[in-house]
């Protein structure tokens, strides 16, 4: 499903978990971010980029290493791969690949490409790292907390912000690695809003938006979720934290993610 399209950008949303794949097409390069999930969906993106790329440099960007985001990697064998430096040292590589195999087995899915963990050609190591591609500039930020290997990517002057699994309108923060890192990432998000002219924020799941009020709201709601959950837990009111699920659209599955957050916070807080 095409979620959004303009002259340079197409956001293709998977039927699964409203996961977004992005293709950016300019006169200087083609870039595909997190091409995913189902075989037909990946094939659609592969064909789309094949049609558009000509002899332009072709980049594949991974926002983080979660299996749903890297599942399409080997369908794009000639791309230069951009990703966070921490993706390289990820100790869970084999477990991530096993999640893909498990998923494909569960639904009898066959793919016309190999399942593999991305080899990163261009690694993002620090905030404000830039990559010049013709008259375009990619600016990267470290975005940890959801996982420990995430990145934000700003593409200017287009004003595109590829955010990975942050700032979704359909998910509260899913904190797999660290709640304090997650908060740091949200602080970076606040700075990005001030320092860059954002035309389109593309989260990993849910709706893309160019509305600055909406972006600020998403940042605020993510911060509030973490602060309030932590606060209620210090007051021994864990059950009350579940009321957050009333505001989100898929409470049955999301309850599991909230539980995961609670368990991680408990570890962090030593309770």
Q: Measured from the CB of residue 57, what is the shortest distance to Zn ion in angstroms?
A: 27
Number of residues that bind Zn ion (CB under 5 A): 2
User: Is residue 66 a contact point for Zn ion (CB under 5 A)?
Assistant: yes
* Residue, CB closest to Zn ion: 66
Task: Figure out which of the listed residues 34, 149, 165, 181 binds Zn ion, where binding follows CB under 5 A.
Answer: 165
Least distance between Zn ion and beta carbon 258 (Å): 15
Looking at the chain, which runs of residues are DSSP E strands? 2-5, 9-13, 20-25, 30-33, 58-61, 80-84, 122-124, 129-133, 136-142, 151-156, 160-164, 200-203
For the purposes of burial, counting CB atoms within 10 Å of the CB of 114, is it exposed (0-12), middle (13-18) or buried (19 or more)? exposed
Quick one: 192 or 204, whose CB is closer to Zn ion? 204
Is residue 141 within 8 A of residue 127, CB to CB? The reply is yes
Dihedral sign from CA coordinates of 76, 79, 80, 83: negative
Which residue, 53 or 164, is less far from Zn ion as judged by CB? 164
Q: Helix or strand or coil: residue 246?
A: helix
149 binds Zn ion (CB under 5 A): no
Beta bridge partners of 201: 161, 209
Whole-number Å distance between alpha carbons of 178 and 270: 14
The SS3 of residue 89 is: coil
Instruction: CB nearer to Zn ion: give 58 or 161.
Output: 161
| Choices 61-69, 211-219, 239-247, 257-265 (CB under 5 A): range interacting with Zn ion | 61-69
Least gap, CB of 237 to Zn ion (angstroms): 28
Candidate ranges 81-89, 100-108, 157-165, 242-250; the one touching Zn ion (CB under 5 A): 157-165
* Residue 236 CB, nearest approach to Zn ion (Å): 30
N-terminal to C-terminal alpha carbon distance within the chain:
44
Q: Tell the smallest beta-carbon distance from residue 13 to Zn ion (Å).
A: 15
If one asks whether residue 171 binds Zn ion (CB under 5 A), the answer comes out as no
Measured from the CB of residue 17, what is the shortest distance to Zn ion in angstroms? Answer: 9
Q: Which residues form the interface with Zn ion (CB under 5 A)? A: 66, 165
């Amino acid at each position: 499903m095409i979620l959004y399209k303009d002259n340079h950008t197409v956001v293709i949303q998977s039927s699964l978990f409203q996961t977004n794949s992005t293709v950016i097409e300019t006169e200087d390069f083609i870039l595909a971010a997190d091409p995913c999930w189902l075989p037909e969906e990946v094939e659609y993106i592969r064909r789309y980029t094949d049609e558009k790329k000509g002899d332009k440099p072709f980049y594949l960007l991974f926002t983080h290493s979660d299996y749903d985001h890297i599942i399409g990697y080997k369908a794009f064998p000639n791309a230069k791969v951009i990703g966070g430096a921490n993706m390289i040292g990820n100790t869970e590589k084999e477990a991530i690949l096993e999640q893909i195999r498990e998923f494909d087995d569960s639904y009898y899915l066959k793919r016309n490409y190999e399942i593999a963990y991305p080899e990163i050609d261009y690694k993002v190591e620090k905030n404000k790292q830039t990559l010049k591609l013709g008259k375009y500039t990619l600016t990267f930020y470290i975005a940890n907390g959801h996982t420990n290997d995430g990145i934000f990517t700003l593409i200017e002057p287009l004003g595109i912000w590829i955010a990975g699994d942050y700032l979704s309108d359909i998910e509260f923060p899913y904190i797999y690695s660290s709640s304090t890192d997650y908060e740091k990432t949200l602080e970076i998000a606040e700075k990005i809003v001030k320092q860059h002219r954002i035309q389109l924020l593309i989260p990993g799941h849910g709706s893309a938006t160019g509305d600055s009020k909406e972006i600020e709201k998403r940042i605020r709601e993510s911060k509030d979720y973490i602060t309030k959950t932590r606060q209620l837990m210090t007051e021994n009111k864990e059950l009350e934290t579940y009321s957050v699920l009333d505001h989100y659209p898929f409470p049955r599955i999301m309850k599991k993610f909230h539980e995961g957050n609670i368990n991680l916070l408990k570890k962090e807080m030593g309770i």
